[in-house]
Structure 1
Amino acid sequence: MSINLDQIITITFTLFAVIDIVGSIPLLISMKEKMGGLRAMPVTIISGVLMISFLFVGQQFLKILGLDIRSFAVGGSIVIFLLGLEMVLGHEIFKADANAKSGTFVPIAFPIIAGSGTLTTIMSLKANYGELYIVIGVAINLVIIYTVLRSLVWLEKVLGENGLTAVRKFFGVVLLAIGVKIFATNISSFGSLTK
C-alpha cells in the first residue's frame, strides 16, 4: 500500500492550525504557574486519546449523551472564552488546585489542546481522508505538543515577565475571538428551539 504524503501533510497542517499549540504558549505557562507544574506526558497522552477516540466513536458517543456536534462546540467555546477573559483581565476564573494533576484533563487537554474545534475538525477530515492518514496527522501533532510542553520553562525565560504579559494579553484577545467565532458559528442551530 502506497502512502500519500500530500494527504498526511494537509491533515497535519490543518490540525496544527486548529490546535494552535504555539498560540497557546502564554496560556499554558499561566496554567503551569497556577498549578505548580505541568505534566507534559500525561497531557499529551490524554489529548491523543481524546482525538483518536473522537475519530472512531465521537458521533456515536455524543448521540448516546443526546448531544450533537454543535452543542459540543458551543460548550467548548464558552470555556475557551472564559480562558481568554482570564488572560486579558488578569482575574482568576478557573480556581485550580496547586498541583499539576488537577488541570491535566480540564482545561489543558480539553479544551485548550483537544478542544471542540479540534475534535470537530477531526470528524470533518474523516469525510475526506482515510482514518490511517488522520491517525498519522494526530501523531505528528502530538510530538509537537509534547515538545512545546517540555519547553515551557525555556520559553518563559526567553519571553521574560514583560514579554509574557504582553503576549498573554494578545493571545487572550485571540482566544476570546476564537470562542466567539465557534459560539456564533454553532449557536444558529438552536434557533429552531426558541421558535
Structure 2
Amino acid sequence: MNLKLFGEAFVTLFVIMDPPGTVPLFLALTSMQSGARRSRSAWQAVAVAISVISVFAVAGQQILTYLGIGIPALQGAGGLLLLLVALQLLTGNEKPPEQVADVNVALVPLGTPLLAGPGAIVATIVFTQRATGVGGYVAVAAAIVAVHLSLYLFLRFSSLIVRVVRDSGIVLVTKISGLLVSAIAVQLIANSIYGFISAHGG
C-alpha cells in the first residue's frame, strides 16, 4: 500500500469532511431524537456518505471522460470550491443545514451534502486519478474507510465530545480546519495552473 498517498488522502478528506465540526450540526439536527435513534442516525449518515464517495471514486474517471473534463480543470474547480468552504469556516459564516419535512435527516442533509459534499467528492476523484497500481487504489480506499470510521466515532459519541471540549474547542478545531482547507485549495489551484501550462508545452 502506498502509505504516502494514504496519508495525503486521509488528511485531505479529514479536514474537508471535518468530523469535529459536524458534531454541533449533528446534535442540532437530532436534538429531538432519543439516544438509540441518534446512534442509528449516526451510522446511517456515514453509510450514505461513504456510498456517495465510493461511487465517485469508482466511476469518477468515466464521468470526467464523458464530460470531456481534464484533471487540471477539475483541480482548478475543486480548489476554488474548497477556497469558498475555507472562507466560510474561517469567518464563521457557514449556515447549518435545515431539516426537511418528511425526510430522514441522516440521509439529507447529514449524509449528503453535509458529509459527502462537493469538496469531498472532488478530492476523492483527484486522489483516485493520482493512484497507480493496486497499492495506490488500496491506499485511497483505506483512507476513505478510515475517514468515515472517524466520522462515525465523532457522531456516535457527539454528546460526550461536546461535554469534554465544549463549544470553544469545537470552534477552535473548525478554524484550524478552515486554515488547512485553504492551503489545500491553493495547492490544487497551483497544480491546475501547472497542468494547463504543461499540457500546452509551456
Q: TM-score, normalising length from structure 2?
A: 0.69
CA distance in 2, matches of 1:12, 1:68: 23
Q: Could you report, residue by residue, the CA deviation over 1:103-131 in whole angstroms, capped at 9, with x for unpaired residues?
A: 5322421245x332233212322x13258
The equivalent residue for 1:128 is 133
1:42-191 equivalence runs, <5 A: 42-92=44-94, 94=95, 96-99=97-100, 100=105, 101-111=108-118, 114-125=120-131, 127-129=132-134, 133=138, 137=142, 138-190=144-196
User: Once the 2 structures are TM-superposed, how far is the Cα of residue 53 of structure 1 from its aligned partner?
Assistant: 2.6
Identity of aligned residues (%): 20
Kindly report structure 1 stretches of 4+ aligned residues shifted beyond 6 Å. Answer: 8-11
> Structure 2 CA distance, aligned partners of 1:36 and 1:150?
14
Shift of 1:29: 2.9
Can you give the 5+ residue segments of structure 1 that lack an aligned partner in the other structure? 1-6
Q: Could you say what secondary structure the match of 2:117 adopts? A: helix
Where structure 2 has 5 or more consecutive residues not aligned to the other structure, the ranges are 31-37
Aligned to 1:16: 10
State the Cα RMSD in Å: 3.6
Shift in Å at residue 155 of structure 1?
1.9
Q: What count of residue pairs does the alignment treat as equivalent?
A: 184
